[in-house]
Structure 1
Amino acid sequence: MFLSAAPRRFICGLLAAAGALLAVPQAQAAASIDAQRIAFKQAYAAANQGDPGWRTLAAGLHDYPLYPYLPAAALEHDIRLIDRAAVEDYLASYPDLIPAADLRRDFLRELARRNDWAGFTALYQPGLGDTLACDALQASLAGGGTLDFQRDLAALWAKPDLPGACDPVLSAAHDQGLLTTARLWDRIDRAAEAGKAGTVASLASWLPAADQPTALHLAQAWRDPAAAVAAASSWTSSERNTRAATLALTRLARRQSTSADAGWQTLQGRFPFSEAQRNHILATLALFHATDFDDRALARLIALPPTAQTDATFEWRARVALARQNWPAVIAAIEAMPAALRQDGEWRYFHGRALAAQGHAAEAKNQFKTLADEATFFGFLAADELGQPYAICPLTLADDPARQASLLALPGLQRALELFAVDLPKPARREWNRALQGADQATVRVAAALANQRGWYDRAVFAFSSGDALRLYDLRFPLASQDGLVPQAEAAGIDPAWAYGILRAESAWMSDARSGADARGLMQLLPSTGALVARRNGMTWGGGDTLYDPVTNIALGTRYLAHMASRFDGSPWLASAGYNAGPNRVDQWLAARGTLAPDVFIASMPFKETREYVARVMAFSVIYDWRLNGTVIPLTTRLSTIGQPYATAAANAARKAVSCPSSAAPAAATSVVSAADGR
């Protein structure tokens, strides 16, 4: 059916008018939610500071999804002042919310501090963690109760480490005669296996006097393996002392392989080591001589008994051979691996490299051919060896409006999305996890896409981490232009694709990421590093918490990357290694093996974490280059030769095409497997 121009203009006018009418309430709703968010932030800050004015600021927020977080924050601030009635009122009002569970837990700790055991017992619920479980036992003891080992202690006793709140309970159990020698040894053995030397040492004093030295030997093996190995020749030859000697030798091998060798020569005839213990010691000694690249390392790995071989010893046999560029030995090492390990992309690639180096071009080509269909570090290297395009086969997630609507109606997901919108990502993740607990893969997938639309990128990164979901590149590798990475990287003189790769590998787009070493934000900068970079570049420094602001973090992170690259002739792959392991360690590796080709040098890095990190960053750089430009700088170009200057590619530099070969294409464009975690 066709219409003349006049009717078409009339209908178009009606549609435009209808659209304008619809836009008014939508605009009003947007303004309303923005106002609520501003008011919530102000009220939440006041409540966290104990300012009673939060109630005035929150006057219009009673129907806002996050309102329950406000009275909870005020109560948490005054936790040492409030009474049980105030807490119980909140719990009655919001019984199933996360802030209620937190408030119950925190107030129970306060009641325990007050020694208000009657109040504690009235409020306590099982399943709140080991600290409160032990406090509950203390409450029972304070009321005149006694302990029953199976009922009260068995579950706690099975754990290798317990909080300090359990110490009075364990003392009471000891005084009641419940901690028999057999039970003490049972927990000591578990703690020693888990490396909890403090637990072992603390329990040793309750053992019979004759048993105490043996327990302390186990603790010493963890704390000071060199001293334990030196002292072991004077220990009695018992089963547990043999375990302690095994532990001390293997621990020492990690630090001083030569000293551990000498200790093994002294002790191997002193204790009745089992075959498994001997194999463990021999494999560990060989492995850490290999990571030191000792002259006899390859021979020692080859000579290990078959029962002593592990995946690590098989791999390091290949790594040592690679570092020596002994290609026949590389082939032999890879072919000696178990079949599953041999199928790893790294070893398929180096098998092909070794075959090519030995003149077996056709066999090498066959190895590279199947690997080149994979969008991975080694898949890209294989494609470069063959001179063919990279196999990147993107998927697009199909819309599911019905499921989106049902998800957005969930109060828990509403709270999660709102918490993210008001810059509270940690509680947002807790609400997210609870709201989607038990959800099927399709539901998690749609939820992650909804979060991604709102700028909450890490939800998709973690949700789409296996199977065909890895091909949802637009969701797994967001560009987030609002954070300014591209202009900041260009201003710093580094490749934006590489900067994106570092960011993605470091934080998986979690803006509030914080490591055990206190590295913070998207690019995981230490506050001391952030302050130094800001000073060097004449930038404003607002303190460590400003690293959680994406714009600030990226501005400082790209400058730090540029500084790291300058240490290594501009090389992005070496700078990536330095970013992960520290530049001084990379300098040491370069001094020892700096003549190797980049791919072989990466394989020879002693730290597994750094090897995998560099491979991940460089593969991510290729994918981000493709996302930004449609074509890519070849990975082999990015892996510049050690000692040669590397410059960020010019606009007219040779680039590589990307295609989706039929052998690598997914069966269905919307077939997606999701996972709960991963990067």
Structure 2
Amino acid sequence: MKSTSSYKKVKENCFTKDKLLRAFIPLLFIFIITPSHANTINTQRQDYLEAKKAFELKQYKKFGRIANTLKDYPLYPYLRYNYLRKRVWKEKNSDIIYFLDRYSDLPVTNRLRNSWLKVLIRRGHWQTFLDNYIKHSDPMMQCYQLYARMKLNKKEFLLEDIRSIWLTGKSLPSQCDQPFEMLYKSGLVTNELVWKRFRLSMQNNEIGLATYLSRRLNTESKVLARKWIQIHKNPYKHTRKPNLTDNETSREIIAHGILRLAKKNPERAVKRLETLKIKYSFASSEIAEIERMLAIYAAKKKSKIASKLLDQIDNYHVNDEIFHYRLRTALLKKDWGLLKKWTTGEPNDSEINLRWSYWHARSLEETGETEKAKQIYIKLAKERDYYGFLAADKINKPYSMNHYPVTNDKEEFERISSLPAMKRAYEFYQLDMNTNARREWHHALNKMTTYQMQMAAALAVKWGWHNRAIITMSRAKALDNLVLRFPILFDDLLTKYAKRNNIDRSWVFGIVRAESAFIEDISSPVGALGLMQVMPRTGRSVAKQIGIKNFKKSKLRKAETNVPIGSAYMKMMLDKFEGNVVLATAAYNAGPHRVLKWLPKKACTENPDIWIELIPFNETRKYVRRVLYFSIVYDWRFKMPIKPMKDRMSLITPKNKKLIAKLSCYSIIEALNKKYIKEKKTTKTTIHNGKITKYSVKKGDSLWLIANRFGISVNDLLRWNNLKRNRPIKPGQILEINIKE
């Protein structure tokens, strides 16, 4: 990037008789030598907000006057940024270059740069574009940079750079067409190079691109390319007799087809591989990779051949994914001997060490080697972890919380505090501009060591910005300061609604910590909002049921609305699954309809540690473990007796006799037998002649909760009791439930 000293010269006599808008420019972009205003920080904050408002209202003279008094305020650069960004097509290049140079450490600076570069592209100012272009991840901007070099006849390494961008397995934007045309004319695009890109496109499932590239291949390669595309589209048909010469390329094409077939039918894929191995001389490493993927696809499909395929993988090559499918396969079959074999020795992947050890101990326990299992549990119980807590329960030992506060280095702490980015983050935080505050904070972390991040986390706590401390400690992988990582925030609100809904306070805190890390205004990629990450549709439904009026989606970003709704939904899930915290937690994350599908089918009860491992969704599986672990940590944080993990994890059973019969846990006759099923009794209900139940409404009840409790619909309740949907029910009100119907 080029920048001349003229851009940095102080200018005087700024105002002219031009329009007010133009009159402001010198005020905004040039340092004016005037006496500093003795504003307090609070006054500066108010002035900043006033300037921001004036700018939004296009009151540019007022904006310029206020901005000129804020040169020593940390957020002053943002006033300049906002003005330039809004008028990037009108401003002098020198003013923009000065800003880019002067405020290069601002996280938003490159946004301005990109906007300005696009203006330069439209104007055809290629030299200025190149002078100020920096390395970019956007292929469109990369290709504009190549085009600029073409226009300016800057040919040094140009073709090599074009080739580097061209060689990708993804389609590229039309802005790349002219540089690519130059590459094609150069003769550098050999048949070998086209084949290389063709392979990448096939590996990326970019069949349209692959088809286009195949036209540029020579006759021999074109035949191979067409065969590969055929095998991709119909692997079962075209791997039967591939009619390919035995060479490395042919084996790659066949392997591609085998794995495509395995996604739909792993049994057929295995048989096809056995046949093709005779004709094609696959290397042992090639076979090992194919069989590893076949094992994963077979395990995903719960195929009968999964155990055999997973067993063929050497423990050295077992990563988190393979171990998960081994564990799931063994647990589904209750094959403890196989699980013991698979967990013997040490894992090669340290990330799965605790999980591996726990399940090895469980397999030993189930196969009668209790003393060996106990020794593993003793060692594992020293860890502050979900599996460590489970192990401690097995041997009736207290949990190892292993809390180690960070020792602050006063000098380093002060240095971190004085960083311009930290000052800007603090000001945005004080002004409740949280997105900008977080952006500045994380931009600053990019240049910090692990220890400096811990100092930054301590600084965030000092400010009262606890959610940044949580995120920062996690990023630094400094996990032993439990006070910083598990703050007690929104305590009055969360405790109030935990009590109101009669649910465990630590469980509520565990959910909030897992969902949002106490970030009140957070939103997820799928649209969940606020502290308890409530989906708007769920929020609207629950709000109606608990009597919150005038619900708006935006209100979910405020704890005062989010917590009543989120905690009520937790209670609904807990009631739906008859007090089972594990199922309710899974339902909070994945939805109750999915959890009902995941209930055991071959037995009426399942151990909760096993059921959690069998959850199909990776996110939900980890989420349930995390919430249970967090709940225990919050018991410790509240300085209250810790409720053991085993007391939080009830046996997993189908919900009622109708569902048990449907899922074939027992025969239908057995399912209806009271010896096997004990129905949950409903409080304060009277049964008349086995037909009608009279139910007395309790505080906190809703039509949805009552209907769910009795396994009926809300419409049934409305019809039987002549109720209107928009009329709330009251405590003490008597409702009739038609059991016979």
Range class of TM-score, shorter chain: 0.7 to 0.9
Distance 2:201 2:313 in 1: 30
Among 158, 162, 184, which residue is 1:174 paired with? 184
The answer to whether residue 247 in structure 2 is matched with residue 237 in structure 1 is no
Larger-gyration structure (1/2): 2
Identical pairs, percent: 30
The Cα shift of 1:258 comes to 4.8
Corresponding residue of 1:484:
493
Distance 1:364 1:419 in 2: 54
The Cα shift of 1:501 comes to 2.0
The answer to whether residue 605 in structure 2 is matched with residue 598 in structure 1 is no
**Residue aligned with 1:470, SS:** coil
Corresponding residue of 1:136:
145
Corresponding residue of 1:310:
318
- Write the mapping of 1:65-464 to structure 2, written as runs, cut at 5 A: 65-80=74-89, 82=91, 84-91=93-100, 94-126=103-135, 130-143=139-152, 148=157, 151-157=160-166, 159-161=168-170, 164=173, 165-193=175-203, 200-208=210-218, 210-212=220-222, 214-215=224-225, 227-233=234-240, 235-237=242-244, 239-258=248-267, 260-261=269-270, 264=273, 273-302=282-311, 304=312, 306=314, 310-311=318-319, 312-313=321-322, 315-335=324-344, 338=347, 344-464=353-473
**Residue aligned with 2:234, SS:** helix
**Cα offsets for 1:290-325 (capped at 9, x unmatched):** 3443444334433x2649963444553343222333
> CA, structure 1 residues 202+171, in 2 after alignment: closer, same or farther (shift >3 Å)?
farther
- Residue 645 of structure 2 aligns to which amino acid in structure 1? L
Distance 2:437 2:59 in 1: 24
Distance 1:560 1:390 in 2: 30
> CA, structure 1 residues 468+430, in 2 after alignment: closer, same or farther (shift >3 Å)?
closer
Contact 1:237 1:272 in 2 (8 A): no
Distance 1:173 1:88 in 2: 33
**Residue aligned with 1:592, SS:** coil
**Residue aligned with 1:173, SS:** helix
The answer to whether residue 651 in structure 2 is matched with residue 641 in structure 1 is yes
**Residue aligned with 2:601, SS:** helix
The answer to whether residue 637 in structure 2 is matched with residue 627 in structure 1 is yes
Distance 1:543 1:210 in 2: 63
**Cα offsets for 1:394-432 (capped at 9, x unmatched):** 223334433332222221221122233334444434433
Among 494, 499, 507, which residue is 1:498 paired with? 507
Distance 1:254 1:467 in 2: 38
Q: Which has the higher helix share?
A: 1
Distance 1:606 1:177 in 2: 51
Contact 1:50 1:77 in 2 (8 A): no
Contact 2:292 2:309 in 1 (8 A): no
> CA, structure 1 residues 85+257, in 2 after alignment: closer, same or farther (shift >3 Å)?
same
**Residue aligned with 1:402, SS:** helix
**Residue aligned with 1:631, SS:** coil
CA RMSD of aligned residues (A): 3.8
Contact 1:47 1:71 in 2 (8 A): no
Distance 2:436 2:291 in 1: 48
The Cα shift of 1:35 comes to 4.7
- Residue 355 of structure 1 aligns to which amino acid in structure 2? L
The Cα shift of 1:619 comes to 0.6
Contact 1:373 1:391 in 2 (8 A): yes
**Residue aligned with 2:343, SS:** helix
Contact 1:280 1:308 in 2 (8 A): no
**Cα offsets for 1:348-405 (capped at 9, x unmatched):** 2222223333333322221111111111111111111111211113223334433332
> CA, structure 1 residues 598+394, in 2 after alignment: closer, same or farther (shift >3 Å)?
same
Contact 1:396 1:472 in 2 (8 A): yes
**Cα offsets for 1:260-280 (capped at 9, x unmatched):** 456656765675544333333
- Residue 628 of structure 2 aligns to which amino acid in structure 1? M
The Cα shift of 1:126 comes to 4.6
> CA, structure 1 residues 259+547, in 2 after alignment: closer, same or farther (shift >3 Å)?
farther
**Structure 1, 108-117 or 414-423: larger mean CA deviation:** 108-117
Contact 2:454 2:478 in 1 (8 A): no
Contact 2:347 2:356 in 1 (8 A): no
Distance 1:82 1:419 in 2: 27
- Residue 62 of structure 1 aligns to which amino acid in structure 2? K
Distance 2:567 2:481 in 1: 26
The answer to whether residue 619 in structure 2 is matched with residue 612 in structure 1 is no
Distance 1:322 1:481 in 2: 40
The Cα shift of 1:283 comes to 2.9
The Cα shift of 1:635 comes to 0.8
> CA, structure 1 residues 533+70, in 2 after alignment: closer, same or farther (shift >3 Å)?
farther
Distance 1:413 1:48 in 2: 26
- Residue 417 of structure 2 aligns to which amino acid in structure 1? L
> CA, structure 1 residues 123+296, in 2 after alignment: closer, same or farther (shift >3 Å)?
closer
> CA, structure 1 residues 420+361, in 2 after alignment: closer, same or farther (shift >3 Å)?
same
Corresponding residue of 2:484:
475
Distance 1:479 1:437 in 2: 28
Distance 1:170 1:477 in 2: 54
Distance 1:252 1:41 in 2: 61
- Write the mapping of 1:485-634 to structure 2, written as runs, cut at 5 A: 485-511=494-520, 513-539=522-548, 544=553, 546-592=555-601, 595-634=605-644
**Structure 1, 292-301 or 601-610: larger mean CA deviation:** 292-301
State the TM-score, normalized to the length of structure 1. Answer: 0.78
- Residue 84 of structure 1 aligns to which amino acid in structure 2? N
Contact 1:43 1:58 in 2 (8 A): yes
Distance 1:468 1:103 in 2: 33
State the TM-score, normalized to the length of structure 2. Answer: 0.72
The Cα shift of 1:636 comes to 0.9
Contact 2:346 2:353 in 1 (8 A): no
> CA, structure 1 residues 540+82, in 2 after alignment: closer, same or farther (shift >3 Å)?
farther
Distance 1:178 1:532 in 2: 62
The Cα shift of 1:474 comes to 0.8
The Cα shift of 1:136 comes to 1.6
**Residue aligned with 1:335, SS:** coil
> CA, structure 1 residues 442+330, in 2 after alignment: closer, same or farther (shift >3 Å)?
closer
The Cα shift of 1:612 comes to 2.4
Contact 2:378 2:395 in 1 (8 A): yes
The Cα shift of 1:91 comes to 3.4
The Cα shift of 1:603 comes to 2.0
Distance 1:467 1:95 in 2: 25
- Residue 40 of structure 1 aligns to which amino acid in structure 2? Y
Contact 1:323 1:596 in 2 (8 A): no
Distance 2:515 2:228 in 1: 37
**Cα offsets for 1:218-237 (capped at 9, x unmatched):** 6787xxx6634444446552
**Structure 1, 540-549 or 323-332: larger mean CA deviation:** 540-549
**Cα offsets for 1:428-451 (capped at 9, x unmatched):** 344334434443333221111111
Runs of 4+ with >6 A deviation: 48-51, 644-647
**Cα offsets for 1:52-105 (capped at 9, x unmatched):** 465466565332211211231233234455553552353365455333332112
> CA, structure 1 residues 498+175, in 2 after alignment: closer, same or farther (shift >3 Å)?
farther
Contact 1:483 1:551 in 2 (8 A): no
Aligned residues between the structures: 613
Contact 2:239 2:254 in 1 (8 A): yes
Distance 1:387 1:75 in 2: 65
Contact 2:486 2:513 in 1 (8 A): yes
